[in-house]
A and B are shown apart, each in its own frame.
Chain A
Amino acid sequence: MATSEPIALNPLRRGLVEDRTGDACAAVIFGASGDLTRRKLMPALYNLAWGRALPGGFAVVGVGRRDKTDESFRAEMREAVSAFSRRKPIDGALWADFERGLSYVRGAANDPATYESLRAQLERVDSERGTRNNHLFYLAVPPSEFGPIVDGLRASGLVSTPGRDRAAGTWSRVVFEKPFGHDLASARALNDSIASAFDESQVFRIDHYLGKETVQNLLVMRFANLLFEPVWGREHVDQVQITVAEEIGVEGRGRFYEQTGVTRDIVENHLMQLLCLTAMEPPISLSADAVRDEKVKVLRSMRPMDRDDVSHNVVRGQYGRGLVRGEPAAAYREEPDVAPGSNVETYVAMRCFVDNWRWSGVPFYVRAGKRLARRVTEIAVVFHEVPQTLFRAARAAGAVADDGGPRGITPNVLAVRIQPDEGISLRFISKEPGQQTFLRDVAMDFRYGTAFGSNTPEAYERLLLDAMRGEATLFTRRDEVEAQWEYMDHVLEAWASSGPPVPPIYAAGSWGPSEADDLLARDGRRWRKP
């Protein structure tokens, strides 16, 4: 019986420092006329080219409804890159080389002719640009178009099976943008539809938070330092607070927000991912499945909420008028494309529990909102108070605890700042210099900008490169997405069953409704003011 010989490794790769270059490929962007392509994807690809991370054989085929020539598409993308790239000004020679690989195919997602044109274009690109029949399909389109595009790709034969791909030395992969479904049932239906065309190993579901340096550093901080892991659990941790706060409102996306609200936009994906990375056990390796297995275990350990639990543990809110950065801000209901009587939530705070050995009894307070006092995303691990207070001296004037703990010696807090000013700070108590023993909170600060210089890669750069390389660790797996929805469905169903819920109104520029403060006050705690 003939056996297939394993392909020998390239001996010149042995010992070579890994060059994080993508495989030769053509990236096909559906939604090439859209905001995401202009603001994020094309600048990220240009920055990768600048950093020589793109392979020699590389091309971008934009697909969109609008009528464009290759030249007008290139001009439009140049303008976008000039405006949104972190590398300014644009390098003329580099762009000239980069844009030679850009082309455009006009077509609608549900029109079979689109895929015939795309196939012809990809054949031309593969032969002219050396992209070796490797195709990365990026769906930067509304979720309603996911199904038609997947069907179109499958029907036109543009997707091959992984087994055949491997034998031919080629691949095809697909990247999906969130939102990935609007509840568990729709997420499952979408996953089923995708699974009819793609193997799970070919599917890359983007949660761009996972591409952020600080989020990746969370794993490094936890598992490459002996200092933190022994105190990372119920024995030492009193509570965990995760905040995703934005100053901006819906910014012209009123129609989208009326359909999603902050729960589906932020909580179900970004916030749940941050919680998973905070609570997960050490994976056996950094392989995609090892890391994602551990995250799924966290999601499955989360205590489900029945309707009563939801009313006790979840607070909704909607922003009213107020002042943000000193400027007047309109109420959510006054935003364009928002119903005047809308009850969509722009703020959610929840008290969650991870019922496993490590975290039993430790509350995870999570909140996300728009038009809050400050733009900040952080994970704060608040430790227990010291068991016995040796220091009876009065606290120094102005030394105020901001963690919500009882008065006295404030507990230590380890805060991981995701954005802005990415970094980690550890707060502890110190004696003020002087004759008396006054205690004061001080912080040890690590800031990415000061330790590593500036110009941190954008999340999309990392994620696009990973997708080109087939590295799925920073993408969400099917069971992960479904477990996230399974948990959040309890909340959404409770709200749906209690009739049209009227969220409390909070002033724009505040830290959310007072009900959210009450949520923690019942436990004798307070929200941090990050």
Chain B
Amino acid sequence: MTLSPGQVLARVEGELQAFWSSPPAPGETPKARACTRNLVVVAGTPEVADRWLLTVDDVLQAIPARAIVVGLDPDAADGLSASATAVCTRGESGGPPICSERVTLQARGAACARVASCVETLCASDVPTTLVWLGRVHADDLLFAPLARDADRVVLDSAQGSLGDLAHLVRWASKAPARGERPGVADLAWTRLAPWHELCARMFDEPRLRELAGRITRIKIVQASAAGTTLGAEGALLLGWLATRLSWKATSLAGKLRLTRPDEGSVPVQLVSEAAAPAHGGLFAVEIEANAGSIALAGQVRRE
């Protein structure tokens, strides 16, 4: 028997309520429920949603939340199915386990258009909502628009789509009506760059090396991709970060990117692909050379 979306949601709500309303069985340790936010993850396919379950459970260990993981399959026959589970972590000091809730929703066919309404029903009230959108971003997408509008933070991964998606999302967020209601925007590709930023910055931390930051003479970006691939999101974001921090001017000549330092010196950029490297499509290494006459630097940051 096929259940209607309303029946599916009622069953999930019942399951969630049953977790916490039924007393622990004899000998069973009582559990504490915790929820500090809603974490809504929307994947373009059921397979991607499944792959994300482990990541979501890891997040729930650190941030107690109600997670709703949605897998979309628009080409399949209509239908909606859902299940709920508790994700528990051992409490400190021998306290009771702390449990979050994870709901998985699979929407097929026309039911995909109803997902926003289902998610709204399932979200815990009075806590902020983070939407993780694992696909291309279109502001007029029937699902993206309502989900993003209700979120306090929208997260995407430009490495899985394109930097255009990120730009699209930022433009969309900036149009939100009231200043305080604009959702925050985060890019997982940018977040992954944090250690690269830190390690590149460390090259110039020593006082005697700081002036070299203004005398960079060469950048080499090694990307984990097949030969001939264009610069991916992570590499482009890192290069953009260096250019803005160091006040480089970006121009193009005959379609090739040219970066110019404030002292008019040019910074040649070399892009190298390494197909065998781990983290396919992502950054694999960055090499920076700088020369200030009396002192020079050649540094490399490389993924292990």
Judging by beta carbons under 8 Å apart, are B204 and A10 in contact? yes
- A8 and B36 in contact (CB under 8 A), knowing A16-B197, A453-B61, A454-B98? no
- A12 and B204 in contact (CB under 8 A), knowing A421-B93, A453-B89? yes
Judging by beta carbons under 8 Å apart, are A449 and B205 in contact? no
Chain A minimum-CB-distance residue to B242: A12
The A contact surface, by secondary structure, is loop
Judging by beta carbons under 8 Å apart, are A453 and B63 in contact? yes
- A11 contacts B by Cβ under 8 Å: yes
Determine how close the nearest CB of chain B comes to the CB of A465; give it in whole angstroms.
16
- B62 contacts A by Cβ under 8 Å: yes
* Size of interface on B: residues with Cβ below 8 Å to A: 34
- A9 contacts B by Cβ under 8 Å: yes
Judging by beta carbons under 8 Å apart, are B207 and A7 in contact? yes
| B211 / chain A contacts, CB cutoff of 8 Å | 8
Judging by beta carbons under 8 Å apart, are A14 and B245 in contact? yes
Determine how close the nearest CB of chain A comes to the CB of B60; give it in whole angstroms.
8
Among B98, B198, B200, B246, contact of A450 (Cβ-Cβ < 8 Å):
B98
Judging by beta carbons under 8 Å apart, are A450 and B64 in contact? yes
| B34 / chain A contacts, CB cutoff of 8 Å | 450-451
- Which residues of A in the span 404-456 have a Cβ within 8 Å of any Cβ on B? 420-421, 447, 449-456
CA distance A313 to B23 in the complex (A): 48
Chain B minimum-CB-distance residue to A56: B202
Among B91, B201, B213, contact of A16 (Cβ-Cβ < 8 Å):
B201
CA distance A11 to B262 in the complex (A): 13
CA distance A454 to B89 in the complex (A): 8
| B91 / chain A contacts, CB cutoff of 8 Å | 449, 454
Judging by beta carbons under 8 Å apart, are B64 and A453 in contact? yes
* Size of interface on A: residues with Cβ below 8 Å to B: 26
CA distance A450 to B214 in the complex (A): 47
| B63 / chain A contacts, CB cutoff of 8 Å | 452-453
Judging by beta carbons under 8 Å apart, are B198 and A11 in contact? no
- A19 contacts B by Cβ under 8 Å: yes
- B126 contacts A by Cβ under 8 Å: no
- Which residues of B in the span 30-70 have a Cβ within 8 Å of any Cβ on A? 32, 34, 36, 61-64
| B205 / chain A contacts, CB cutoff of 8 Å | 10, 13
CA distance A308 to B8 in the complex (A): 74
Among A9, A14, A420, A453, contact of B210 (Cβ-Cβ < 8 Å):
A9
- A16 and B246 in contact (CB under 8 A), knowing A169-B206, A449-B92, A453-B61? no
- B194 contacts A by Cβ under 8 Å: yes
**Which of A12, A16, A420 gathers most chain B CB within 10 Å?**
A12
Determine how close the nearest CB of chain B comes to the CB of A166; give it in whole angstroms.
10
| B62 / chain A contacts, CB cutoff of 8 Å | 452-453
A-B pairs with beta carbons under 8 Å apart, 10 shown: A10-B205, A12-B245, A16-B197, A17-B194, A421-B95, A449-B91, A449-B92, A449-B95, A450-B32, A456-B92
- A10-B213, A12-B200, A421-B95 are known; give 13 further A-B pairs, CB within 8 A: A8-B210, A9-B210, A11-B204, A11-B213, A12-B197, A12-B203, A12-B242, A169-B208, A420-B95, A449-B92, A451-B36, A451-B64, A453-B98
Taking Cβ atoms with an 8 Å cutoff, the residues of A that contact B are 7-17, 19, 21, 56, 169, 420-421, 447, 449-456
Taking Cβ atoms with an 8 Å cutoff, the residues of B that contact A are 32, 34, 36, 61-64, 89-93, 95, 98, 194, 197-198, 200-208, 210-211, 213-214, 242, 245-247
